[in-house]
Amino acid sequence: MTLHELAAEHAGVRASLLALSDRKLPSAAVPETWTPRQVVHHVLLADRAIISLLERLFDKITAPVQADMSGPLPIRTGFFGYDRERVKTMAAVKGTEPDPAVSDENLRNIEAEVNSRYDALLLKSATHDLHASVFPHRFLGQLNFYEWLAFGLEHAKLHLQVLQNNLDPR
């Protein structure tokens, strides 16, 4: 997967999540289940946290290696071979807990911020090899810059899949 493909897919998944944000969960849903709107809020907050981390990683590099990153990204094979059912039971990372009363304006502002910062980060990183810039993930171990980007996409896709499987059909 190239940087451009990853960015396009991530934008598409976020758009799909936003399209579901006002849908209702079935009445039989567990009371502790997040609403689709809360899921969208959580994904945007998680994306913002990942972007902040990657911006810090990029800024710490004293001599980034110039490279053409238009080809496949250095993401390990089998990178996402983790237990998805276990992940679904994990609590949200601090700072990514959704607000049940998040306003439309706040959600739109976070989305615009995430999209703008994500685009700026991709533009900066497109000409540098950042595979040596790593930061630990709480259960995936050390992830390089590109694996963190891929994780953000995978995280959003997982939430989208869960929502699509649990929403009332219209």
The Cα-based distances of 50 to 33, 160, 165 in angstroms read: 24, 18, 26
For residue 18, pLDDT over 80 is answered with yes
Count of CA atoms in the C-beta half-sphere (13 A) of 105: 0
Whether the CB-CB separation of 114 and 68 falls below 8 Å is answered with no
pLDDT(93) > 80: yes
> Which of 61, 9, 7, 23 has its CA nearest to residue 162?
23
Amino acid at 139: F
The pLDDT, as a whole number, for residue 14 is 93
64 vs 130, residue with greater confidence: 130
Distance between alpha carbon 96 and the CA centroid of its chain, in Å?
A: 11
> By residue range, what is the domain housing residue 25?
3-166
Summarize the confidence of residues 7-11 as an average pLDDT: 93
According to the model, what pLDDT value does residue 12 have? 94
Residue 141 pLDDT level (bands cut at 50, 70, 90): confident
Q: What is the pTM of this model?
A: 0.87
80 Cβ contact list (under 8 Å, min separation 6): 150, 154
Average pLDDT in the chain: 85
Mean per-residue pLDDT for 61-82? 75
Query: For the chain, how many structural domains are there in total?
Result: 1
**Surface-to-core class of residue 11, CB atoms within 10 Å of its CB (0-12 exposed, 13-18 middle, 19+ buried):** middle
Residue 23: which pLDDT band, with cuts at 50, 70 and 90? confident
Residue 138 banded pLDDT, cuts 50, 70, 90: confident
Structure confidence at residue 35 (pLDDT):
86
Between CA 47 and CA 121 the distance in angstroms is 12
pLDDT of 152 reads 93
CA distances from 151 to 30, 61, 112, 156 (A): 27, 21, 20, 8
CATH, residue 31: 1.20.120.450
